[in-house]
Amino acid sequence: MTAEWWRGAVIYQVYPRSFQDTNGDGVGDLPGIMRRLDHIASLGVDAIWLSPINQSPQADMGYDVSDYKEVDRLFGSLEDFDDLIKRAHALGLKVIIDQVISHSSDQHPWFRESKLNRTNAKADWYVWADPKKDGSPPNNWPSVFGGRAWEWNPSRGQYYFHNFLGSQPDLNFHNPDVQNALLDVLRFWLERGVDGFRLDTVNYYFHDKQLRNNPPAKRPKHLPYAVNPYDMQEHRYGKSQPENVEFLKRVRTLLDQFENRTTVGEIGDSHKGMQLMEEYTSGGDKLHMAYTFDMLGNEFTAAHFREKQRKFFAHAPNGWPCWAFSNHDVNRHVSRWSPYAADQRALSRQAAAMLLSFKGSICLYQGEELGLPEADLLYEELTDPPGIRFWPEYKGRDGCRTPIPWDEGEAPNGFSSGKPWLPVKPEHSTLNVAHQEADPASTLHFYRQMIAFRKVHPVLTDGDIEFFKVAEPLLAFRRFGSKSSNEALTCLFNLSPDPVTVTLTGAEGIAPLEISQGAEVKKNKLTLAGSGFAFLPTGEVTPSFGGRRK
């Protein structure tokens, strides 16, 4: 692969806990991932992204690191990791790993030392602040997981800041020693052969040194209060600070010392996310890619998908996005968008075709290739802290983290010989890999076909994109100008459960390409069934649709 292998790449996210267990403890592990690498490679993806595998008390499923240079024994060993890297590379797969450096576990030696007193060597490695005169926290910053973002420590007589759980104290990036220590962590893994990093909460690294109060978020009076008070503030000071740009330049300088490495930063900011994506990915001296939340919500309209892409490239013409429809933090998209679809299977195929035709790099979440819906768990089955705290209005993230169903038979369908850490529900069992392998018309086979289609048509990987002005529910755009091909494609998607008929100008009687679904052309009319889509082998055709449904 070239130095810019990541540009337009398809990345497969592995959630290690739920991929494959090999020792019977009910939790997935690195040998399990190695056992199933052939499945991932068979999809035709370019890389895998591993969610956290570092040593951790697992209070937040690995996003609370207690040793940045060690693999948690729950998943295996450093030797297992080295073996996984070698096997993945032999299969032509790059390996990206999660790095959670905005905060650590409270069990990390750095924090254990920092909390002892105000004079130790690590005293300024975390964000400490004196209480107000009445003993309350220094400001109004809330935690993402509920409650105040400040935890009292009697040893120092101060509060420490945590954006997430109280056991996840935020590191103080204003301290150069902290930055150097974390860059050393990244170097450790680069020297071990990883091909890049997914930087968790990349805009949370710095806080406002003055600890100013956040202003309230604007809320229309007719809407109820948010389930989580965190959403009632504009987070102007607890994250997304301007100093972050210079640190990201230091990260890029480090990566540029190694060949063909990449970074993708998770940017979570509802108020200025697009601005941060521009700042963090432009100029070629910071992040390679921005992982965006823009398509991880419930909205399923042509205007939404069109405008999010337009805005990104308008704000960051030299930046690069990494689009995703699902991940380990949100309900699976097959469930989120099912009200707009003819059926879930048709939606799964349409979503794959749509995502894999967008301009940018693409991230697929494990189980997406099976069309897995969100699992409906009982309260007593939950493990996710915010789900437990805000039940039942918010059920947490466990429903998208359940184990992969590999084989036929009773649950857990080949995932583990023991009791899985989360249950495999019946609706997932019926979608198991073995069954779909035997069915040429399955969602699994479609994903392989669509990824191969993307690679056969380079315009989908490195071409430009132009959107047509058509009415809902039609999303229509042209991909053109590939560096390696003069090809152009017209891509059309019916984002409704009802059929629509589109008038085509400039290409009468043209036949849709083989990857289409529910598409029929008669003279200059294209009819798309509910959840239908079509790729037309020309950039000359102009679709027109006024919003009337057939």
Among the listed residues 80, 200, 384, 487, the single catalytic one is 200
Cβ within 8 Å of residue 199, ≥6 positions away: 99, 101, 251, 263, 264, 265, 266, 287
Pair 12, 366: CB distance under 8 Å: yes
Examine the residue annotation and report whether 266 is marked as an active-site residue of this protein: yes
User: CB 146: neighbour CB atoms within 10 A?
Assistant: 18
Pair 43, 52: CB distance under 8 Å: no
Query: Exposed, middle or buried: residue 275 (CB in 10 Å: 0-12, 13-18, 19+)?
Result: middle
Among the listed residues 29, 106, 195, 266, the single catalytic one is 266
Angstrom distance (rounded) from CA 517 to CA 236: 45
CA distances from 369 to 39, 443, 465 (A): 11, 6, 25
Residue 38 has φ and ψ, to the nearest 5°, of -60, -35
**Is 464 strand, coil or helix?**
strand
Closest CA to 268 of 410, 144, 417: 144
Q: What does DSSP assign to residue 505? A: E
Examine the residue annotation and report whether 487 is marked as an active-site residue of this protein: no
Angstrom distance (rounded) from CA 544 to CA 3: 40
Cα angle value 363/365/368 (rounded, 5°): 115
User: CB 11: neighbour CB atoms within 10 A?
Assistant: 26
Cβ within 8 Å of residue 492, ≥6 positions away: 474, 475, 476, 502, 526, 528, 533, 534, 535, 536, 543
Q: What does DSSP assign to residue 496? A: S
Question: Which H/E stretch holds residue 38?
Answer: helix 37-43
| Amino acid letter, residue 280 | Y
Angstrom distance (rounded) from CA 417 to CA 108: 32
Region of 419 please: left (phi>0), alpha (psi -120 to 50) or beta.
Answer: beta
Angle, to 10 degrees, between the axis of helix 244-255 and the axis of helix 273-281? 40
Cβ within 8 Å of residue 117, ≥6 positions away: 123, 155, 156
Q: Which residues pair with 223 in a beta bridge?
A: none
Q: b/e string for 224-248 if b means 16 or more Cβ within 10 A?
A: eeeebebeebebbbbbbbeebeebb
User: Active-site positions?
Assistant: 200, 266
